[in-house]
Amino acid sequence: MEPGARSEDVRALLEGAAGVWLDDRAVITVRGEDRVRWLGGMVTADLRGLVPGKGVYTALVAVKGKLLGDAYVHLGEDCVLLLVPSSERQAIVDHLEGYIVMEDATVESTSERVLTVQGPLALTATEGMGGRSTADRLGVGGVDVLFPPTEEVPEALAVVPRAAFDAACVERRVPQWGIDFGGDNFVQEVGITDRAVSFQKGCYVGQEVVCRLQMRGQVQKLLVPLRVLGVMPVAGAEVLVEGKAVGRVTSVARALHEPDAANLLAMVRYAVVDKRPPLEVDGAPAAWLG
């Protein structure tokens, strides 16, 4: 597990239901008559099917294709809510505002806190909570619930430390902004294309680069899952092929069902990924996963 992550907390997120405060996520609220149509031209996902209670995972990219952030999009009563990386919120607000011309749309930062409840029982555990919307962040089912800064979570809901969520992300091979990828990356490098990008929707900012990379496969590096036995590398550890560095570990967690093993996410040169040679991390063989 991650330091401070208990296996029972990780299991609750993956096999039951547990909440986690995502304090590295901030809320951007979009209002106006054109809010959904206009926002659809700013993100990689197709928002035409956006409905109350069902969130959509997406990415925002710059004109030249580099990532500005990833986000869940949720539909409110008279607004659209983007749950973006806190570190990038103002930059994303500025980016979005720069593309409002004649549209009836406004963009503002709002103060809600993001509680995500993950696990196959998440819907049952949050029944009756106002404003919940599906957000399957770990691939096992989940919802996001937005709370005013001072509102308390119902006592019946188990809330686990963030370290448990981070460990669950590594276990499920789900990359995180600011940990496994960031603004130096293209969508295709970080393994979120299938979840975040629609190739059937209309135009959006950065679409040309995203589509070109998809067709030609010209990325230079790729985030991949690995596993090592007997050691617990740290983020930043080198991934080696015959003693030469070909990448770096981005996140680590002890394997949930194999205590002597560590699961890793690592950014590795694409040419190496294509050939899949034997790897080494911290003096131990590293197995390719997936």
Is the pLDDT assigned to residue 111 strictly greater than 70? yes
List, in order, residues 6 or more apart from 8 with CB less than 8 Å away: none
Considering the chain, what is the average pLDDT of its residues?
95
Q: What is the pLDDT of residue 153?
A: 85
| 267 close to 251: Cβ distance less than 8 angstroms | no
The neighbour count for residue 57, using CB atoms within 10 Å, is 19
Is the pLDDT assigned to residue 3 strictly greater than 80? no
* Average confidence (pLDDT) over 99-117: 96
pLDDT tens digits, one per residue of 243-253 = 999 999 999 99
The neighbour count for residue 8, using CB atoms within 10 Å, is 11
* Average confidence (pLDDT) over 260-278: 95
What strands lie across the sheet with 18-21, from one edge to the other?
A: 18-21, 113-118, 142-147, 133-134
Strand partners, 136: none
* Average confidence (pLDDT) over 230-237: 95
Is the pLDDT assigned to residue 131 strictly greater than 90? no
Q: What is the pLDDT of residue 14?
A: 98
* Average confidence (pLDDT) over 33-52: 96
Q: What is the pLDDT of residue 274?
A: 87
Is the pLDDT assigned to residue 216 strictly greater than 90? no
* Average confidence (pLDDT) over 64-88: 97
Rounded to an integer, what distance in angstroms lies between the CA atom of residue 73 and that of residue 284?
41
* Average confidence (pLDDT) over 254-273: 94
Is the pLDDT assigned to residue 231 strictly greater than 90? yes
- Look up tokens 């981005």; give the residue: 250
Rounded to an integer, what distance in angstroms lies between the CA atom of residue 49 and that of residue 69?
22
Question: What residue ranges define each of the domains in the chain, with the CATH number in brackets?
Answer: 7-171 (3.30.1360.120), 220-290 (2.40.30.110)
Q: What is the pLDDT of residue 4?
A: 60
Q: What is the pLDDT of residue 151?
A: 79
Q: What is the pLDDT of residue 99?
A: 97
Residue from 73, 48, 69, 49 nearest 59 by CA: 69
Is the pLDDT assigned to residue 266 strictly greater than 60? yes
* Average confidence (pLDDT) over 175-193: 97
Q: Phi, psi at residue 67, to the nearest 5°?
A: -70, 135
| 269 close to 189: Cβ distance less than 8 angstroms | no
Tokens of 67: 């990532």
Query: Structure pTM?
Result: 0.95
Helix (H, G, I), strand (E, B) or coil at 169: helix
Q: What is the pLDDT of residue 226?
A: 98
Q: Phi, psi at residue 217, to the nearest 5°?
A: 60, 40
* Average confidence (pLDDT) over 9-33: 97
Is the pLDDT assigned to residue 1 strictly greater than 70? no
